Amino acid sequence: MTVVSNVTCPVCGSLCDDIELVVENNRIVKVRNACAVGEAKFLGFADPHHRRVKPLIRKNGELVEASLDEAIRRSAEILAEACYPLLYGWSSTSTEAIRVGLELAEEVGGVADNTSTVCHGPSILSIQNVGIPTCTLGQIRHRADLVIYWGSNPWNAHPRHLERYTTFTEGRFQKSIWIRYLTKLQGLIGRKKAERAAELVSPRKEAMPQTEKVEGLPPPLKAEERKMIVVDVRKTRSAEIADYFLQVKPNMDYELLQAFRMAIHDRELDVDEVAGVPVELIEEVADVMLKCRFGMLFFGLGLTMTSAKIRNIDAAISLVRELNERTKFTIMPMRGHFNVTGANVVFTWQTGYPYAVDFSQGFPRYNPGETSAVDILARGDLDAALIVASDPVPHFPKKAVENLVKNPLIVIDPQVTPTSFMADVVIPSAFVGIETGGTAYRMDHVPLPLKKVVEPPETCLPDEVILRRILKEVRRLKGMRTA
């Protein structure tokens, strides 16, 4: 039995790096510090129902087992022949694999796109319009006395976000009433009960920083309590613990944000309510924003994927930007997949663009809506596809899926997925962050190492290695073609 500590959890964009795993006979038997979602991943990833360890190739309509060499050769043939292949996924693998993936996309003159195309793509387009004032998560822990969650419900989507970075944390300059509340709770009721309560909000009982004890530090400033505002179309669990909850009419976030921009400048509104929120409340909350010392606005898909999309984020960022004329304010998208941020980062340093990069003319070209996966699929522009560590079939629009499976399709994934069932070539890979290492970027762009904790099945190579072999084979084929 070995204990591996400080493991980074390869599930969501919170990328908690304090996970402790107990490993026995190449199996993870115990998980400490992770939330339920993370724990389920570490314990259940190897479940044979979701995993097949041999490569498959479709022959006469049937997926049959094949050797890895054969699967790689077939993949390379498909990609080398294609006029407009789509290489999609990338958000649940390591940056090392993404680097090779982009080289492959360039070599085959394809389009590389990552999953931000269907989540925070609009946020990125908006950043390109107006910029973004942001920070790392620790900055919030230390300084933020106001946290706003807009169209995002961290309690469900990023379970440990509140506990590690925001409402339930304390930092150098910022106390938390919640921590004290929980400590008191622990004293009052039995140990077991308290643990269960703490499990809900703060599994790390040592979370209380001991600033005063450390020698030579100036005592932390006496700060006011951290406030929390939730804006959403429905009352979520996160909303229940908020100081303010604003229920916005569906698809009217844009109007509300623009009204806030008016309110923080003391500009009068011609109307009495905006998006279902009375103007007095808007003005009151605007005042809370202006009076905070350090504010943070987290936004989620509730903002990026509704009606005004990019413009919602334009307005949200503009609001935060303008708040900086009066106080300190920051904003951050709540990113989903554990390395979707990393995918954006690698795409950007290699090509200048964060997603939806079209290499068909030999250089990177970018125009989401035109060069983005869903749109290419919906129009049926592609003639082959490679999907890496992603499962678009159950999530993409029907028309897009039709066009995806109509063309030659290669899937590299550690798991059996609906997409892999539809593929022509399936190459099983090692689980990134469990069976193979690498780098991932947290939602605030902090890079963290992923660890290899157990050995993968012999036939499952890391994505990076598989992609490199396909690339090599493509080059060999292309060399033959030109020769």
Partner 1 sequence: MTSLLIKNGFVFDPLNGVNGEKMDIAVENGKIVEKVNEAEAKIIDASGMVVMPGGVDIHAHIVGAKVNSGRLLRPEDHVKDVEPKTPVTRSGVGYSVPSTFTTGYRYARMGYTTVMDPAMPPLKARHTHEEFNDTPILDKATYPLLGDCWFVLEYLKQDRIEECAAYVAWMLKATKGYAIKLVNPGGLEAWGFGGNVRDIDDPVPNFGITPREIVRGLCKVNTLLNLPHTIHVHTNNLGKPGNYVTTLETMRCVEDLARDGKPVIHITHCQFSAFAGDDWRTFDSGTEPIIKYVNAHSHVTLDMGQVVFTDTTTMTADGPFQFLLYELSGNKWVNSDVETETCSGIVPFQYRRKSFVHSMQWSIAMELALLIQDPWKIFLTTDHPNAGPFTHYPRIISWLMSRKAREKILERVNKKTLRKSLVPTIDREYTLHDIAVVTRAGQAKALGLKSKGHLGIGADADIAIYALNPETTDLSRKPATVRKAFERAAYTIKDGNIVVKNGEVVNAPMGRTFWLNVDAPKAEIEISKILQQKFAEYYTVSYQNYPVPEDYLAVSAPIHVKAEVE
Partner 2 sequence: MTIIKLAPKRAFKTPVNAQTITPDAFQEKTMSEIAELHVWEGNRRRKLGELFHISEEKTAGSESLRIEVSGDLRKVRWIGAKMTTGEIIINGDVGMHLGEEMEGGKITVNGNAEAWLGSMMHGGTIEVKGNAGDYVASAYRGSTRGMNGGKIIIHGNVGNDAGNAMRKGVIIVHGNAGQFAGVNMHDGAILIKGNCEGRMGADMHGGKIVVCGHVKSVLPSFTIEAVRKRVKFEGEPVEGPFYLFLGDLNTKGKGKLFIAKNPNQHLSFYEKLL
CA distance 243 to 223: 17
- Which one of 77-85, 342-350, 449-457, 474-482 is the stretch in contact with partner 2 (CB under 8 A)? 77-85
213 belongs to the binding site for partner 2 (CB under 8 A): no
Orientation of helix 95-107 relative to helix 340-351, angle to 10°: 50
448 belongs to the binding site for ligand SF4 (CB under 6 A): no
Among residues 103, 208, 381, 478, which is the contact residue for partner 2, using CB under 8 A?
A: 381
Among residues 14, 123, 153, 167, which is the contact residue for ligand SF4, using CB under 6 A?
A: 14
With contact defined as beta carbons under 8 Å apart, do 158 and 444 qualify? no
Torsion sign (Cα): 299, 304, 306, 309: positive
- Which one of 33-41, 379-387, 447-455, 459-467 is the stretch in contact with partner 2 (CB under 8 A)? 379-387
- Which one of 90-98, 107-115, 155-163, 216-224 is the stretch in contact with ligand SF4 (CB under 6 A)? 155-163
Which string of DSSP letters, residue by residue, matches 263-296?
Answer: HHTTPPPSSSEETTEEHHHHHHHHHHHHH-SEEE
473 belongs to the binding site for partner 2 (CB under 8 A): no
User: Which among ligand SF4, partner 1, partner 2, none contacts residue 9 (Cβ within 5 to 8 A by kind)?
Assistant: ligand SF4
In angstroms, the Cα distances linking 30 to 39, 79, 193, 242 are 8, 42, 22, 34
Structure tokens belonging to residue 475: 């080059």
User: Which among partner 2, partner 1, ligand SF4, none contacts residue 37 (Cβ within 5 to 8 A by kind)?
Assistant: ligand SF4
271 belongs to the binding site for partner 2 (CB under 8 A): yes
Structure tokens belonging to residue 326: 């009066």
Instruction: Tally Cβ neighbours within 10 Å of residue 478.
Output: 15
User: Which among ligand SF4, partner 2, partner 1, none contacts residue 108 (Cβ within 5 to 8 A by kind)?
Assistant: partner 2
User: Which among partner 1, partner 2, ligand SF4, none contacts residue 211 (Cβ within 5 to 8 A by kind)?
Assistant: partner 1
479 belongs to the binding site for partner 1 (CB under 8 A): no
Name the DSSP letter for residue 444: T
160 belongs to the binding site for ligand SF4 (CB under 6 A): yes
Torsion sign (Cα): 300, 306, 309, 312: negative
Instruction: Tally Cβ neighbours within 10 Å of residue 47.
Output: 9
User: Which among ligand SF4, partner 1, partner 2, none contacts residue 267 (Cβ within 5 to 8 A by kind)?
Assistant: partner 2
Structure tokens belonging to residue 143: 């300084």
Q: What is the CA radius of gyration of the chain?
A: 24
Residues with Cβ within 8 Å of 210's Cβ and at least 6 positions away in sequence, in order, are none
- Which of 241, 239, 227, 242 is closest to 290 using CA atoms? 227
With contact defined as beta carbons under 8 Å apart, do 229 and 146 qualify? yes
174 belongs to the binding site for ligand SF4 (CB under 6 A): no
Residues 261-320 interacting with partner 1 (rule: CB under 8 A): 293-294
Structure tokens belonging to residue 144: 């933020």
159 belongs to the binding site for ligand SF4 (CB under 6 A): yes
- Binding mask of the shown chain, residues 308 to 327, with x at each position contacting partner 2 by CB under 8 A: x--x--x---x---------
Residues 23-52 interacting with ligand SF4 (rule: CB under 6 A): 34-35, 37-38
Residues 80-99 interacting with partner 1 (rule: CB under 8 A): 95, 99
Residue 176 CB, shortest distance to partner 1, in Å, is: 14
Residue 313 CB, shortest distance to partner 1, in Å, is: 13
Residue 160 CB, shortest distance to ligand SF4, in Å, is: 4
Among residues 22, 23, 43, 130, which is the contact residue for partner 1, using CB under 8 A?
A: 130
327 belongs to the binding site for partner 1 (CB under 8 A): yes
CA distance 462 to 381: 30
With contact defined as beta carbons under 8 Å apart, do 351 and 55 qualify? no
102 belongs to the binding site for partner 2 (CB under 8 A): no
Residues interacting with ligand SF4, by CB under 6 A?
A: 9, 11-12, 14-16, 34-35, 37-38, 158-160
